[in-house]
Chains A and B, each alone.
Chain A
């Protein structure tokens, strides 16, 4: 694999007194009421909790998709909460890979092209890009569907493509927001298994949000959230 990307390998995540308030016209919603957590490099954690407790909000903040109201997030050597938009984009490009509940594939592009997209952004040349995308699709077991657009794929297949997309730039930090939320249990198991294997094999740090109580079987540690707070001790051993 590319040396340039390997240098970021293994980052830890330090979350410190993280607060997020959604300001709306009707009333302000406090989604996160002070989260403290530390995820060592190479560990996979699950985030669970009732609906509306702030799981997605937390993930969006760690993924650099949204800005927090207060607090800090440190990923590896970098503090990301007070970065400019350009640096955040770079952070998303090089450090994080996100798997969404609703896949978020570009409908106009084929599976192969969707996987190539993050590589285009970091300026890979066509032959290497295609090879890498092909390899990734092979990892998720979809090499035969490479030329199909998302609307021709089943939900499980779409999520496997999305996984390949998230892995394309070989990010040290992998975030997944209910990656199996739209899938039936067979597909869900396949995707979760895949996720676990990849995380372990490549020593990635991962945060996986899920409703599924079986999440514990796939991660090193589970963070439990209720109403914007963590209820389990931050570093309780498994």
Chain B
């Protein structure tokens, strides 16, 4: 009988194709995260490795720069080694214009002594340019050159202040200065943080600027600048290995072994010269090369689980589709099964034969699915790459599929095929022989519709929704109760839409045929009186119509939910970044005068600037702003932030003597709009202390205001009150007692300008760290796990929609084929063949519309529930906003469009049917 199964399978390969497609999709959905994660691992490893500026560092006291380096460079697996001597941290060691004189406007620096060949690896440490430095010349980074307006050929002065002791008793500070010519201006990356981190190995004091000199300048600087460098100096040899050979992203143990091997090679050469060798590590995180793969591996274990879990809805959809196509294939074969049984096959034989077919289909599907998953992981990684700045895209040939993955996939697919097929096959082969042989449309299957069951499902769905709303409305409990509540809510909200969709869909598609008739009537203008055929087509196979509507509803709900959720989370991320940074650049510093502010605002690349002073008072910290400046500069201010009042009050803060407490202050003091408040500010200490009383009126209550947070969080849980500086001045407070973080500058740049330029200017002019909004937002977004998550969700939302289109199109096709005889009869009686397409289009659209009508409210309810749960579980973060992005509606339209196209294609095929042949088989 196996022979028989294989013959029929091959003859009916077209019929099997859809099942294969469905199963391949399921396989691909399972395999995609695996394949994509493998490739993502590669990206992550490369990213982490790139944050490590060198692979090994050998240190020892030696003047044999070239010989020692050559020994290191000669070790197996090493591609380069460069000797560097670093100046020790002097008391005041600075650089400036020769004219500026000691003390005025100097930048503390470190000096690194290097060879010209250092240039080939300097990029790894964040510098690029020439290192040809004859005696008397220096290479300075662009930041220093820019600060003093210097270029190649200009003079620069180095200053060393040394405590010189002539005897044990008498010591004095002496200045040693020398002028040098700038030989090269080195380029550093504009994103300032990266440069300073990577350059860290070149200086004793982290974060200092580095100036380069030739190694032969060592002696000269020892004498002229009184530079305290040992002789022979502590030589550092930076060693770079071939990382392609060093690191296997998929094997932590092997990577570790290789790293150690090369380290031994380097050590072997340098040990007798008195050098000790250590592995390189990231200056930022301290992560060592040999640990990178392990760290990435560890983080992936969790990811794999979560991603697989999140794939379940899409896998489920694909399996449902597989089941549907398999079922419709079986329905067509009912007659054949009857024939086999009448000839003496028993149930077991028929079952076995059909299962052999199903399993062969599973094997083919596994291979197709695997191929598909390679393509899909490209799509998936496209999202991941797009959201991971700085990582190049992963070339296709780097997407690896291991042998064991193939084996596991094939077994899984065959298993899935078995699970899907077995119950159907059992049912089909158990059918009563006489029934199977009856010459009726094999599709006409009556479904026993129980009104009570639909009612029960709907009622259960509604009540879990109501229960959810009730629980979500109750105020949060602490600890385990909160956790249990959260878990219960999660279960309820996962259950409610499933129950609701099933219940309502059953009612709409099985309990009544009114929706079919109503929707069919819409095509009457084109089909004339034949519109009943559309309704009949849907009604006569209620199980399939109902399945399709439910499938469409589920898939659309899933896809629209995912897309909206991503938009909501992303909106919140940028909301958080905006709230913390406040403008394009935020700069916490001191000493920015009104004149400085005017100068800054006048810069062509600056659109607006405002200053915030944080001062202490009896009611918490006051954030003193210039209301109108702030309102003009901080355009991200909107009603979202206001619990009472609105953004309009900020600009007129001075004229109203207004105060805007945050939620913490308002609840501590019981403040509402209109309340008067006396703020006490103390200036000075002890006997000279003076207390000022400032009378203000509450004009609004906020969660937070952009740029006015004292900590690194978006919401400040300490009482903070925003007032206008003019109000303080009117009360006599001309000098403000600043408290951490002191004074803050918020800047908006012109949209075409790079905010890094002004950020760098600020850092160079005043001491402090500038935060660029773009960088900050990206640092929030580029969490690789988050990127992978959204990449996967997007991919699967797309797949879900694809499955629906496929399902509806194939169902439209099957329904056409099933009624081929009937349609052929109509055509033979004079119906225009071309209008058959309309018939199927009508059916497909009806199912699509019913599915969408079910999906839209469900999605909205789900989103609402998600926001409620989020607010309950994480009450200490900025609340998420309800956004339904345009993409969601595009998705909906695309699905309906796809369904339409699928139906039309099915209709076109029917248009070319062979009339005599069809009529003959029907025996008409």
Contacts and interface: CB of A to CB of B under 8 A. Distances in A.
A92 B7 contact: no
Contacts of B437: 65, 100, 104
B1 interface: yes
Interface string A94-131: 10101010101111110001000110111000000000
B344 A63 contact: no
Interface string A143-172: 000000001000100000000010001000
B690 interface: no
A187 interface: no
Given A60-B434, A102-B923, A121 B347 contact: no
B248 interface: no
B342 interface: yes
A120 B1 contact: yes
A74 interface: no
B342 A92 contact: yes
Contact of B335 (A93, A104, A151): A104
A89 interface: yes
A117 B437 CA distance: 17
A121 B344 contact: yes
A57 B4 CA distance: 30
Contacts of A121: 1, 343-345, 349
Given A109-B7, A151-B921, A117 B342 contact: no
A182 interface: yes
Nearest to B346: A89
Given A65-B342, A66-B433, A102-B439, A85 B347 contact: yes
Nearest to B446: A25
Interface string B315-348: 0000000000000000000011011111111111
Contacts of A96: 344
B4 A117 contact: yes
A104 B923 contact: no
B921 A106 contact: no
A92 B11 contact: no
Contacts of B342: 63, 65, 92, 98, 100, 104
Contact of A120 (B4, B12, B434): B4
Contacts of A85: 346-347
Contacts of B336: 106-108
Contacts of B338: 104
A31 to B, nearest CB: 11
Interface string A56-76: 000010010110000000000
Contacts of A86: 346-348
A91 interface: yes
Interface string B422-464: 0000000000111001010000000000000000000000000
A90 interface: yes
B343 A118 contact: yes
Secondary structure of the B contact surface, majority rule:
helix
28 contacts: A60-B434, A63-B342, A65-B342, A65-B437, A66-B434, A86-B346, A86-B348, A88-B346, A89-B344, A89-B347, A90-B344, A92-B341, A92-B342, A93-B343, A93-B344, A98-B342, A98-B343, A104-B335, A104-B437, A108-B12, A108-B336, A109-B8, A120-B4, A121-B343, A121-B349, A151-B917, A151-B921, A155-B923
Nearest to B336: A106
Interface in A175-219: 182
B470 interface: no
B830 interface: no
B920 A151 contact: yes
Interface residues of B, number: 30
B525 interface: no
Given A120-B1, A151-B921, A94 B344 contact: yes
A108 B345 contact: no
Identify the interface centre among B7, B343, B349, B433: most chain A CB within 10 Å of its CB: B343
Contacts of B11: 108-109
Nearest to A67: B432
B3 interface: yes
Q: Which 9 A-B pairs have the closest CB atoms?
A: A93-B344, A89-B346, A92-B344, A108-B11, A65-B433, A66-B434, A104-B339, A118-B343, A86-B346
A90 B346 contact: yes
Contacts of A120: 1, 3-4
Interface in B332-376: 335-336, 338-349
A182 B920 CA distance: 12
Interface string B837-872: 000000000000000000000000000000000000
Nearest to A120: B4
Nearest to A149: B11
B13 to A, nearest CB: 11
A104 B12 CA distance: 18
B439 A108 contact: no
Contact of A66 (B7, B8, B345, B432): B432
A164 to B, nearest CB: 12
Contacts of B7: 108-109, 113
A98 B433 CA distance: 13
Nearest to B914: A151
Contacts of A60: 434
A32 to B, nearest CB: 14
A108 B357 CA distance: 15
